[in-house]
């Protein structure tokens, strides 16, 4: 028996040994190109760079159209606007997600309704989605969370049956493919975030993809003060639909350039992450009561913002296990927790259809971020850490 590092024992590895990859990635060639673009002064308003990235990114997700924006919250808001979601409508969102998924619904005046997640994938459960449907339901936002994808096949089948629009929140799912086709291209709109920590990052940024020309036009109008893509500045020829609220949510050409450079390297990065996740899965299998978030059922390429490591409290105890592992040198941290507990939504105004899995995962699933999945040399150390914590779990 040895003393756990959280109680003053010697950690399996010294603090700081398990370094995360430098993020976001930088390189000199991109810096030169950014400088060139800066000097050209072509920074906004449908720049060639922005249009090129929209086309590249949409193609990479097997979608016809891409509309680049300022971040991955306004992309969700514009997706809702483009699909005609309005005050009085209900939009079903998973109980476990980042607050932006539900906030976007409130921004368009609609009402988020919280449905449970699947205990294996941690993404929206099709069964729970079905139960949450009411006469007011107009849209659902499955979130492809951390290292898994929501079951698109099941969710789309239910949505089509009830005439409910589907917006895939792919903030975590850059490069993911479901049954060979890009995440984001399955629903009516796919929404992506390029915020600093994401697997494609320009500090801030986002994009919507769609296969429908009318939706693409409305997405564009929603983010660019009602103009269509063909309109010149100051010369809008056709108005947006009556009462459609339009914004200035434009993105920057420099962001598009940085993202375009990173996009080329994404498949290689995801392959490394997949290998790491598979090896981690093999390690945790050796211990009772712990598992890795299941990848999407039909994920042919799994995207990874990170992975969830899920502990059974009957074996590992009910105290917060994250710091116990972090002290030994394995940096796993809390996930978002149930989104309806956030002060913005923690009111009787919002329907919560019962989310016991979101509650369980909020307490017992811990997140390893993707920047730590670039270190295969750490895998034997992780195995040692699991061994030590498991053997000494009575101290937790």
Ligand X SMILES: Cc1ncc(COP(=O)(O)O)c(C=O)c1O
Least distance to ligand X from the beta carbon of 383, Å? 30
Q: Which of 97, 99, 81 is nearest to 89 (CA)?
A: 81
Which two tokens mark 274?
């997949």
Residue 128 binds to ligand X (criterion: CB under 6 A): no
What is d(CA 252, CA 247) in angstroms, rounded to the nearest whole number?
Answer: 15
Residue 18 binds to ligand X (criterion: CB under 6 A): no
Q: Which of 50, 54, 169, 328 binds ligand X (CB under 6 A)?
A: 169
239: DSSP letter:
P
Return the number of the residue (132 or 171) whose C-beta is nearest ligand X.
Answer: 171
Least distance to ligand X from the beta carbon of 31, Å? 23
Binding pattern to ligand X, positions 46-85, x when CB under 6 A? -------------------------xxx------------
The one segment of 93-101, 229-237, 252-260, 273-281 that binds ligand X by CB under 6 A: 93-101
What is d(CA 220, CA 342) in angstroms, rounded to the nearest whole number?
Answer: 31
The one segment of 20-28, 96-104, 177-185, 348-356 that binds ligand X by CB under 6 A: 96-104
Least distance to ligand X from the beta carbon of 105, Å? 12
Could you tell me if 143 and 381 are in contact, meaning their C-beta atoms sit under 8 angstroms apart? no
Least distance to ligand X from the beta carbon of 367, Å? 11
Could you tell me if 258 and 286 are in contact, meaning their C-beta atoms sit under 8 angstroms apart? no
Least distance to ligand X from the beta carbon of 76, Å? 6
What is d(CA 130, CA 124) in angstroms, rounded to the nearest whole number?
Answer: 11
Return the number of the residue (208 or 389) whose C-beta is nearest ligand X.
Answer: 208
Q: Minimal CB distance to ligand X: which residue?
A: 72
**Phi, psi for residue 308 in degrees, rounded to 5:** -95, 130
Write out the binding residues for ligand X, residues 199-218 only, by CB under 6 A: 206
- Count of residues in contact with ligand X, rule CB under 6 A: 14
The one segment of 32-40, 97-105, 267-275, 354-362 that binds ligand X by CB under 6 A: 97-105
Q: Which of 60, 101, 210, 302 binds ligand X (CB under 6 A)?
A: 101
The one segment of 6-14, 31-39, 92-100, 248-256 that binds ligand X by CB under 6 A: 92-100
Name, in order, each residue with C-beta under 8 angstroms of 176's C-beta and a sequence gap of 6 or more.
144, 149, 170, 182, 183, 270, 296, 299, 301, 302, 303
Which two tokens mark 223?
């983010």
Residue 171 binds to ligand X (criterion: CB under 6 A): yes
DSSP per-residue string spanning 296-341: PTTEEE---SEEEEEE-HHHH-SS--HHHHHHHT---EE---BGGG
Return the number of the residue (182 or 251) whose C-beta is nearest ligand X.
Answer: 251
Q: Rounded to a whole number, what is the largest CA-CA distance in the chain? A: 76
Say how many residues make up the chain: 396
Return the number of the residue (122 or 385) whose C-beta is nearest ligand X.
Answer: 122
51: DSSP letter:
H
Q: N- to C-terminal Cα distance for the chain? A: 13
Q: Which of 100, 149, 218, 257 binds ligand X (CB under 6 A)?
A: 100
> How far are the Cα atoms of 87, 268, 272, 290, 372 from residue 57, in angstroms, in the given order?
32, 16, 21, 36, 25
Question: Catalytic amino acids?
Answer: 198
Residue 143 binds to ligand X (criterion: CB under 6 A): yes
Return the number of the residue (6 or 106) whose C-beta is nearest ligand X.
Answer: 106
Binding pattern to ligand X, positions 175-204, x when CB under 6 A? ------------------x-x---------
Q: Which of 53, 98, 360, 372 binds ligand X (CB under 6 A)?
A: 98
Could you list the beta-strand ranges (E) of 103-259: 111-115, 137-140, 165-169, 177-178, 181-182, 189-193, 206-210
Which two tokens mark 78?
């514009």
Residue 121 binds to ligand X (criterion: CB under 6 A): no
Which two tokens mark 364?
């017992």
156: DSSP letter:
H
Return the number of the residue (144 or 274) whose C-beta is nearest ligand X.
Answer: 144
What is d(CA 178, CA 303) in angstroms, rounded to the nearest whole number?
Answer: 10
The one segment of 14-22, 168-176, 310-318, 348-356 that binds ligand X by CB under 6 A: 168-176
Return the number of the residue (4 or 201) whose C-beta is nearest ligand X.
Answer: 201
> What is the contact surface with ligand X in residues (CB under 6 A)?
71-73, 97-98, 100-101, 143, 169, 171-172, 193, 195, 206
């Amino acid at each position: 028996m040895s003393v756990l590092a959280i109680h003053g024992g010697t950690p399996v590895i010294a603090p700081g040994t398990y370094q995360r990859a430098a993020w976001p990635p930088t390189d000199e060639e991109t810096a030169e190109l950014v400088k060139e673009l800066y000097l050209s002064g072509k920074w906004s308003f449908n720049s060639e760079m922005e249009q090129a990235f929209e086309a590249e990114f949409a193609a990479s997700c097997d979608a016809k159209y891409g509309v680049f924006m300022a971040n991955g919250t306004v992309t969700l808001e514009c997706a809702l606007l483009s699909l005609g979601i309005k005050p009085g409508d209900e939009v079903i969102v998973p109980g476990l997600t980042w607050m932006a998924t539900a906030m976007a619904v409130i921004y368009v005046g609609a009402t988020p309704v919280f449905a449970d997640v699947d205990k294996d994938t941690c993404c929206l459960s099709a069964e729970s989605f079905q139960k949450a449907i009411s006469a007011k339901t107009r849209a659902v936002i499955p979130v492809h969370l951390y290292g898994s994808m929501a079951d698109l096949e099941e969710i789309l089948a239910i949505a089509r049956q009830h005439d409910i629009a589907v917006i895939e929140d792919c903030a975590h799912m850059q490069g993911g493919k479901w049954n060979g086709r890009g995440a984001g291209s399955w629903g009516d709109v796919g929404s992506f975030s390029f915020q600093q920590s994401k697997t494609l990052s320009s500090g801030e940024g986002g994009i919507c993809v769609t296969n429908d020309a009318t939706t693409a036009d409305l997405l564009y109008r929603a983010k660019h003060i009602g103009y269509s893509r063909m309109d010149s500045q100051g010369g809008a020829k056709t108005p947006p639909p009556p009462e459609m609220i339009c914004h200035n949510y434009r993105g920057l050409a420099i962001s598009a350039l940085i993202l375009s450079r990173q996009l080329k390297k994404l498949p290689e990065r995801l392959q490394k992450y997949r290998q790491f996740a598979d090896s981690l899965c093999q390690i945790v299998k050796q211990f009772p009561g712990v598992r890795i978030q299941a990848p999407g059922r039909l994920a042919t390429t799994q995207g990874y913002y990170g992975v969830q490591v899920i502990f059974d409290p009957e074996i590992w105890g009910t105290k917060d296990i994250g710091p116990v592992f972090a002290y030994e040198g394995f940096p796993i941290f809390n996930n978002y927790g149930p989104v309806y507990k956030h002060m913005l939504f923690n009111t009787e105004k919002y329907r919560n259809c019962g989310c016991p899995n979101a509650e369980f995962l909020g307490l017992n699933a811990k997140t390893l971020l993707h920047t730590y999945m670039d270190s295969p040399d750490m895998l034997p150390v992780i195995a040692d850490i699991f061994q030590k914590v498991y053997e000494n779990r009575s101290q937790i």
